[in-house]
Structures are given as structure tokens and as C-alpha cells.
Amino acid sequence: QHLSNQLKYEHLNAFVSLADRASILTRAESADASPQGHNVGKHSPYGRLVAIKDNICTADLPTTAASGILKKFISPYDATVVERLRDAGAIIAGKTNMDEFGMGSHSAHSYFGRVKMEGLEGQEKSAGGSSGGSALAVATAQCWAALGTDTGGSVRLPAAYTGVVGFKPSYGLLSRWGVIAYANSLDTVGVLGSDIETVEGVFDTLNVYDPQDPTSLLPSTRSCLSSEKSLWGPLRVGIPLEYNIETLHPGVRKTWTRSLDLLQERGHTLHPVRLPATQHALSAYYVLAPAEASSNLAKYDGVRYGSRAEGSDGTPESVLFAKTRGQGFGPEVQRRILLGAFSLSAQAIDNYFIQAQKVRRLVQQDFDKVFKACNRLVSRSFAVEETGVDILLCPTAPTLAPLLTDIENQDPIHEYMNDVFTVPASLAGLPAINVPVSIADEDRDVKVREGGFKESAGMQIIGQYGDDKLVLAVGKELM
Ligand code: GLN
């Protein structure tokens, strides 16, 4: 079924490369025949088709990060997350389309053309970004699950727009070895699937220490994180008041209220909380992420990495670099490099980069002040045992998926605004999940599609660092 959907939905441009069909079929058959030694549980990836975002290295298919500069790149090795999936018996479906290097919120900045979601009466909608290809591949059942990356919301936002589950685990749990870096201090591999159980099955397969990734959480720290205890009994659910912004789509706001009611009916208690630094989180993110990106992308110069600009043999190095980078990077990536290089420059670093780092710390402290559990990575804890909350519930995005025609000539700031609810958890490294919750009839403007697509608004559950299992458990209650 997944393979025939890949043909049927080819025009949506969710994939940039597909694995060979014949070999997928052979593998699926042999998986059926010999599951020895494998976990073949209902939610195990064994014998399942999993799509991989194109900024995650695979040895058998190109890895381009949807950039012209990497259009010919084939990695000599698999990323650890891909290797673990293969070891668990998963079959790689192909590589999914995305915003170039993960920079964008609509999967429209791709060397391979934009990702398109079908809306009402042939209208085309944004599938979100930057993991829009992965989210749409899941939404249209072109695969069983997909991997994405989430630096500032790139798994959760597309999940919200396409109506699937998208999970960004705590920073440091899933290996980044073999994942093309955008902003190292924020980059997180995430999982997309049509239900929480699928996502959890993939997460469990990948959630192990990787000595190859220096930011992978050590086994000794992992063992302190277990939060199984808190899954039992009523939870204290926090409502972050700062997220109730004026421009929140009425359908999203109503779904938020209904979801809160539902949790209350289930015996949990609701508590308004304040996260005052949230209002500055987006600005801080868009200083920090481009700064890290400008440094990471410096290596694509046509000599060390990247396809060299044509006709530049014998040109002086500086001309070669400029030509290669001018031709190879798309306009949004160039904008980010300029922004990043500026905010790190001697004249601007104090007013931009350093300030943004301070805001990042305040955002982290805001979360620590409202959660009941203390942050196990931070020595100075605020420990609000009595009044603290277990999880936060808020929307994933301020609106439903916009029309492609509406975002066509939008200025970049508008695009950045889509991330306003997702970046705070990214800056703090916290686990966060998008859960699709169906919206009231009168607020619908997305066509119901086959393939498990649910007409929904995305609700986001955010937990304290390491409370990944709790976040997943609450997600199950909402679905
Ligand atoms: N839209 C955000 C950005 O462009 C987030 C991207 C991401 O999480 N990779 O930076």
C-alpha cells in the first residue's frame, strides 16, 4: 500500500529520492519469512517502511539537505539513527524533501521544488517545514513512519499542519552522528508517525547512547532520567498564558480549550502558568540559529565540501569560494549566513549574540520555575514541588496550514512567526510533541483525505528535560 501511495502522491513532492522498489519488496518478503532475533511487536520498526529526511546520511541514497551545494553528495556511511533502524529490521523508503539545510517553515526553500499539501478544491497548502516531506509522507501513508530533524520546530510544525504526530525528544537523547548540522546546540532528531505508539516504537529503537556524538547523553545520566513513576495518577497540567496570543486562529484556540477540558475530565488538574521570557524566545532563536549555521556552513566552499561552481578551474580561491557559495546556496540560506556572520562580528556580538544567549538562559529558567520536577541537567534547581506542573499543553502553531499562494511573496519575518510556539522548548532542550486533535466542524478548512489524514489542529505537550515518556503518555490521552 505504501508503495502504491508513493506513485499516487508523487506530485506532492514529498520525496527527493526513493529506494529501489524491487529491493524494498524483496526485503519486505524476507522480513516476513525470517524475523529471528528481532522484536516484531506491533510497534516495532521491523519490516516497516521508514522515510528519512534528506539531511540525515544514508550510504545507499544521496543526502543533499535539499541544497544545490550538496546535489551530488552520497555519504560513505549511514547516520547512527539510520543504522539503528536498519539493525531493527526497518526498510528505508527514501529521502524526504525539506527546506534547504532545515532553514524554513513551509518546505518551500528546496533545491528540488516545494512540498505541496492538497487542500480543499485543488488548493495547495503548506505542509510546514522544514521536515514537510517527512510529515506529508506519513500523512499520505507513503511510509509507516519518518525521521525528521527539529532545530526550532521542524518536526512539530509540519506535523501540526499535516495532522500527524511529531515528536522532538529531549536534546541529546538521539544521536546526531551523520546528521548534517544546522545549529548544533539545538539540532534534535525527531520522529513522525500517524499515532503515538508508532512514534514511541521508533523512539525506543533510537534512544541509546552513541559514543560518536559528543553531545549524546551519557548512560550514567540517562539512568537518572526515568520518569515512569509520574505516569501514574492525576497530573498537574500547566496552561502557559503567554501562548494565548491575539492572532491565535479561533479554531486552534477552541481545540486547545477542548483538549484542556478532556484532560480535566480524565482526572488531571489545570493550572495557569507564566513563562515571561517566551515573548523574546523567537528573536533569540533567530539570532542564535543563524549564528551557528554561518559557522557550520563555512565548510561548503567547493574545495573541502560541496559541488564546485562550474567553469572555475584556475580561478583564485576567494573567487572560487564566492562563486560556489553564490550558486550552491539558495536565498534563504544566504540570508541566514549573512545574519549569522553579522551577529558574530566584533561590532555586533555583544548586542546580538550575547544578548540572545542570555535570553536563552531566561527561557530555560522560566520552564524550570514552572515544572514540578527539577531539571536533572542543571545544578541550581528551582524545585517547586508543591505548586509545579508535570507538563504544559499549548498549541503547536498559531494557525492551521496556510495556502501556498498566501505565503508565496511573504517576507521572511512572517515565515519565522510560524515558529513562535515551538522555539521555546528548542532553546531549553525539552521534549515536546505535536498531537493532532480534530477541530470543530465550523472551523474546518482542510479537505479530509484518505490515508489516515485527520482534519485537526496541532496541540503541543512540553515536558521537563528527560520526561519524554511522560510527554508520550499524555499524547496518548489526547488522541
Ligand atoms: N523554521 C525554523 C528555522 O528556519 C526551524 C527549522 C528547524 O527546526 N530545522 O530555523
Residue 447 confidence (pLDDT): 44
Residue-level pLDDT at 453: 45
Give the ligand 1 atom nearest the CA of 131. Answer: 9
412 alpha carbon to ligand 1 midpoint, in Å? 12
- Return the C-alpha cell found at 344: 558574530
With a cut of 50, list the residues of the chain below it in pLDDT. Answer: 446-454
- Determine the residue of 96, 97, 103, 107 to mutate for testing ligand 1's pocket, defined as the one with the most ligand atoms within 8 A of the Cβ atom: 103
Q: Decide if 72 is inside a domain.
A: yes
- Gap between the terminal Cα atoms of the chain: 24
Number of domains in the chain: 1
Handedness of CA 256, 261, 263, 264 (dihedral sign): positive
Q: Is residue 338 part of a domain?
A: no
Q: In angstroms, what is the span from residue 207 Cα to ligand 1's centroid?
A: 23
Distances (CA, A) of 271 to 57, 88, 204, 329, 383: 43, 41, 31, 46, 17
Report how far ligand 1's centroid is from the alpha carbon of 437 (Å). 23
* pLDDT for the residue numbered 168: 98
Please tell me the distance between residue 416's alpha carbon and the centre of ligand 1 in angstroms.
Answer: 8
- Rounded to the nearest 10°, the torsion over CA 170, 171, 174, 177 is 170
The answer to whether residue 368 sits within a structural domain is: no
Probe target for ligand 1 pocket from 67, 131, 149, 154, with the most ligand atoms within 8 Å of CB: 154
In a domain, 185, yes or no: yes
Q: How far is the CA of 108 from the centre of ligand 1 (A)?
A: 12
Residue 198 falls within a domain, yes or no? yes
Cα 29 from Cα 1, distance rounded (Å): 14
Indicate the top mutation candidate among 131, 147, 167, 182 to test ligand 1's pocket, ranked by most ligand atoms within 8 A of CB. Answer: 182
Identify the residue whose C-alpha is closest to ligand 1 atom 5.
152
For residue 309, the model assigns a pLDDT of: 85
For residue range 94-121, what is the model confidence (pLDDT) as tens digits?
999 999 999 999 999 999 999 999 876 6
CB within 8 Å of 156: residues ≥ 6 apart: 150, 166, 168, 190, 396, 422, 432, 433, 434, 458, 460
The residues lining ligand 1, judged by C-beta closer than 6 Å to any ligand atom, are 102-105, 130, 149-154, 182, 289, 419
Torsion of CA 391, 395, 397, 398, to 10 degrees: -140
Nine-digit cell string for 76: 560513505
Q: Atom of ligand 1 at shortest distance to CA of 182? A: 9
Residues that are catalytic? 53, 130, 154
ipTM of the complex: 0.98
Instruction: Assess if residue 459 is contained within a domain.
Output: yes
What pLDDT does 40 receive?
Answer: 77
Specify the pLDDT at position 228.
54
- Nearest ligand 1 atom to the CA of 129 is 1
Residue 478's domain is classified under what CATH number? 3.90.1300.10
- Of ligand 1's listed atoms, the one at least distance from the Cα of 416 is 1
Please report the pLDDT score of residue 448 as a whole number: 44
Which pLDDT score is estimated for 449?
Answer: 44
Do the domain assignments include residue 80? Answer: yes
CA angle 409/56/114 to nearest 5° reads: 20
Q: What pLDDT sits at residue 257?
A: 97
Alpha carbon of residue 111 to chain centroid: 20
Report the half-sphere exposure of 267 (CA within 13 A, side-chain side).
Answer: 6
Q: How far is the CA of 192 from the centre of ligand 1 (A)?
A: 16
Q: How far apart are CA 6 and CA 10, in angstroms?
A: 6
Give just the sign of the alpha carbon dihedral 167, 172, 177, 181: positive
Please report the atom of ligand 1 found closest to the CA of residue 151.
Answer: 8
Does residue 102 lie within any of the structural domains? Answer: yes
Residue 255 lies in domain: 1-284+390-479
Q: Position 396: which residue type?
A: T
What pLDDT is attached to residue 239? Answer: 98
pLDDT of residue 271: 98
